Amino acid sequence: MHKEHTLTKNQQIIFDLIDKSTEPLKAYSILFNVQKKGIKAPLQVYRALDKLVEIGKIHKIESRNAFIACHNSSCQVAKATAFSICEICEKVTEISSAGLSKYLANFKDKDGMKYSKYNLEFFGLCKKCR
């Protein structure tokens, strides 16, 4: 399918933290949590985050400036992402809907412009908060 990337030390530490988290993590919260592992500076975190986003292992939730691990095999390397966000408890879930991704991947605007990437964020109330 897609090339396996071997993560470097810093990338692996940061990915593991995000991957086992039940909520999106912010960069400085990540920094705080990995300081005991020797990652001391913001830039070390941001560099790992950039790379992890680039290779599709994590996604950035733009409206929250936070990061979650990708659990959606159908999202091609960060090119097509959709999330649902609860406005009360801030729970974020990656949406994997074949219909949705097909619709958006084929969407063309009036100019016939074809897009190479999209990010969609839905907001509402989750089951618990309703």
Partner DNA sequence: TATATTAATGTTATATTATTACACAGTGTT
Partner DNA sequence: AACACTGTGTAATAATATAACATTAATATA
Q: How far apart are the two ends of the chain, measured CA to CA in Å?
A: 39
Distance from C-alpha of 130 to C-alpha of 122, rounded to nearest angstrom = 15
Max Cα distance, the chain (Å) = 52
Shorter beta-carbon distance to its own copies: residue 41 or 125: 125
Among 19, 21, 23, 47, binds DNA (CB under 7 A): 47
Backbone region of residue 26 per phi and psi (left: phi > 0; alpha: psi in -120 to 50; beta: other values): beta
Site for DNA in 57-76 (CB under 7 A): 65
Chain residues in the site for its own copies (CB under 8 A): 62-63, 84, 87, 93, 95, 97, 100, 103-104, 107, 109-111, 113-127
Residue 97's binding partner, choosing from DNA, its own copies, none, with beta-carbon cut-off 5 to 8 A by kind?
its own copies
Give the containing element (helix H, strand E) for 59. strand 58-61
**What is the chain's alpha carbon radius of gyration, rounded to the nearest angstrom?**
16
Query: Least distance from C-beta 19 to its own copies, angstroms?
Result: 22
Binding site for DNA (CB under 7 A): 6, 8-11, 26-29, 38-44, 46-48, 50-51, 65
